[in-house]
């Protein structure tokens, strides 16, 4: 793909940021969740620890989806991309950019692919020859970081349409944590909350009467970069993740509101104007205490928190789009409602995507 700087897409300096020539919107969302379900009760049967821990009560997670032996990150990514195209007016050949954002890049089972780029496999499988492709990784903020990058290309007029994809096959970390979690303070306790999922979103140049994404305040508070570290497991196939969950929660609760305040200020809206806040789906307690803290900080709460943890657990970088997809299919959004997606991930990364719901709602639901 040619990424030539067109006249319209090449603003002449910093002043261009305040009045971009184009805007982007979510044109379609696709999801693939594995059929296999694993309840928290069944997962915890394998955990032999000191004292009692009711993980379901602690996190609100009743079950999560788990890849079968024949599924992996690639299958989830590919099927999510195909589902996204099914809901879209675009064809694969229209895509000018594909960004893969998975933390887990498993293909052929638990083989992790570093090279060639994962995005190239998906690009070839869906048949998008024009698309510029590359991979990014930014923990659970991966897909929203992909949106942040693609939005910039669309705003500048370099591309008109592209897809951000992720396929998270994370439950190997959960499986590997089961024999290692011995106390409630275990560093691998958070690994028991994850679930598998693939998600994809098409961004396109927004037109008259359509939503405009406002992507802003993507910030890395790198002082906390070592609070959650993941990589291959030392003695089992798949991944391993060590998290200082309490500290991350404490830091996130303290540091997120001022960053969100700046994002709201930038777009001239208030916290109470947000109809639906889609946070990163970690645990029910974390999500609602975060919402409460935002209410205290801004003096007014967001009207609704979109939470789907009960059925899917923490699906890492796909969690925001799985939540949107679920609510869209249940017809729980209305055109004109103000949406906010909030990234909160290891790093520690915070970021916001704000938009007004438009006719995207028409393509989802029972009749579709």
Partner 1 sequence: MGSKIDAVGLSTPGFFRRGSIEMEIKAAKDCLKNAELDPNMLGILVNTGIYRDHHIGEPAIATFIQRAIGANELFTGDRTTFAFDLTNGGCGMLTGVMVVDGFLQSGTIDYGMVVTADTDPVPGESQGYNYTPAAAAMLLSRSAEGGGFIHFKAATEARFIDDLRGRIEWKQHKRKMKNILVMSQAEGFARACAQFTMENLDAFLKETSLKMKDIDLIIPSQSPTGFLGELKKKKGMEEKLVDVTDKLENVHTAGIGFALERAMSSGRFSAAKNCLFLTVGAGITVSLALYRNL
Contacts with partner 1 in 130-159 (CB under 8 A)?
Answer: 132-139, 141, 145, 148-149, 152-153, 155-156, 158
Contact pattern from residue 349 through residue 368 relative to partner 1, giving x for each residue in contact according to CB under 8 A and a dash for the rest? xxx-----------------
Q: Is 198 left (phi over 0), alpha (psi -120 to 50) or beta?
A: beta
Quick one: which of 255, 273, 311, 337 contacts partner 1 (CB under 8 A)?
255
User: Which region among 68-76, 200-208, 234-242, 333-341 touches partner 1 (by CB under 8 A)?
Assistant: 234-242
Quick one: which of 114, 299, 366, 367 contacts partner 1 (CB under 8 A)?
114
Q: What tokens does 264 get?
A: 């709201």
DSSP string, 318-365: GHHHHHHHHHHHTT---TT-EEEEEEEETTTEEEEEEEE--GGGGG-S
Distances (CA, A) of 215 to 92, 154, 195, 340: 25, 12, 27, 10
Cross-strand partners of 349: 220, 345
Window 235-254: residues binding partner 1 (CB under 8 A): 235, 237, 239, 241
Return the number of the residue (28 or 243) whose C-beta is nearest partner 1: 243
Quick one: which of 179, 207, 232, 336 contacts partner 1 (CB under 8 A)?
232
Q: Whole-angstrom Cα distance, residue 176 to residue 233?
A: 8
Question: Cβ 303 to partner 1, closest distance in Å?
Answer: 26
Quick one: which of 233, 263, 324, 357 contacts partner 1 (CB under 8 A)?
233
Contact pattern from residue 181 through residue 210 relative to partner 1, giving x for each residue in contact according to CB under 8 A and a dash for the rest? ------------------------------
Dihedral (CA of 29, 34, 35, 40) sign: negative
Give the CB-side neighbour count of residue 146, counting CA atoms within 13 A.
32
Return the number of the residue (9 or 306) whose C-beta is nearest partner 1: 9
Contact pattern from residue 67 through residue 106 relative to partner 1, giving x for each residue in contact according to CB under 8 A and a dash for the rest? ------------------------------------xx--
Q: Please work out the total of residues on this chain that contact partner 1, with binding judged by CB under 8 A.
A: 77
Question: Cβ 26 to partner 1, closest distance in Å?
Answer: 20
Quick one: which of 36, 44, 49, 112 contacts partner 1 (CB under 8 A)?
112
Cross-strand partners of 353: 215, 341
Quick one: which of 35, 48, 51, 234 contacts partner 1 (CB under 8 A)?
234
Regarding 17 and contact with partner 1 (CB under 8 A), the answer is yes
Number of neighbours of residue 337 by Cβ within 10 angstroms: 17
CA 348 to chain centre: 15
For residue 200, the SS3 value is strand
Expressed in angstroms, the distance from the first to the final Cα of the chain is 33
Quick one: which of 32, 87, 123, 280 contacts partner 1 (CB under 8 A)?
123
Return the number of the residue (306 or 353) whose C-beta is nearest partner 1: 353
Return the number of the residue (220 or 329) whose C-beta is nearest partner 1: 220
Q: Whole-angstrom Cα distance, residue 239 to residue 110?
A: 9
Angle at 77 (CA atoms; ends 224, 37), nearest 5 degrees: 85
For residue 37, the SS3 value is strand
User: Which region among 56-64, 78-86, 213-221, 307-315 touches partner 1 (by CB under 8 A)?
Assistant: 213-221
């Amino acid at each position: 793909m040619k990424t030539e700087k067109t006249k319209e897409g090449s603003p002449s300096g910093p002043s261009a940021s305040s009045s971009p020539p184009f805007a982007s919107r979510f044109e379609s969302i696709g999801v693939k969740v594995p059929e296999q379900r694993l309840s928290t009760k069944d997962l915890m049967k394998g955990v032999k620890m000191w004292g009692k821990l009711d993980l379901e009560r602690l996190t609100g997670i009743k079950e999560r989806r788990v890849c079968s032996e024949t599924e992996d990150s690639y299958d989830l990514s590919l099927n999510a991309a195909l589902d996204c195209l099914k809901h879209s007016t675009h064809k694969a050949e229209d895509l000018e950019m594909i960004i893969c954002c998975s933390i887990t890049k498993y293909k052929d089972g638990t083989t992790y692919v570093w090279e060639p780029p994962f995005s190239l496999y998906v690009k070839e499988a869906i048949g998008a020859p024009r698309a510029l492709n590359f991979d990014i990784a930014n923990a659970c903020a991966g897909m929203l970081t992909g949106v942040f990058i693609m939005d910039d290309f669309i705003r500048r007029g370099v591309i008109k349409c592209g897809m951000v994809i992720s396929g998270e096959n994370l439950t190997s970390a959960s499986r590997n944590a089961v024999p290692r979690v011995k106390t409630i303070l275990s560093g691998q306790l958070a690994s028991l909350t994850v679930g598998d999922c693939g998600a994809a979103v098409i961004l396109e140049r927004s037109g008259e009467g359509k939503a405009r994404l406002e992507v802003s305040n993507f910030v890395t508070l790198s002082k906390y970069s070592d609070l959650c570290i993941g990589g291959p497991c030392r003695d089992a196939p798949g991944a391993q993740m060590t998290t200082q969950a309490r500290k991350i929660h404490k830091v996130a609760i303290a540091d997120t509101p001022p960053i969100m305040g700046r994002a709201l200020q930038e777009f001239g809206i208030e916290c109470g104007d947000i109809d639906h806040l889609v946070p990163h789906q970690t645990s029910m307690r974390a999500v609602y205490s975060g919402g409460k803290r935002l209410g205290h900080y801004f003096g007014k709460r967001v009207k609704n928190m979109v939470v789907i943890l009960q059925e899917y657990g923490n699906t890492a970088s796909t969690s925001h789009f799985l939540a949107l997809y679920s609510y869209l299919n249940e017809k729980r959004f209305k055109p004109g409602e103000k949406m906010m997606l909030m990234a909160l991930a290891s790093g520690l990364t915070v970021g916001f995507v704000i938009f007004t719901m438009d006719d995207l709602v028409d393509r989802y639901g029972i009749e579709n």
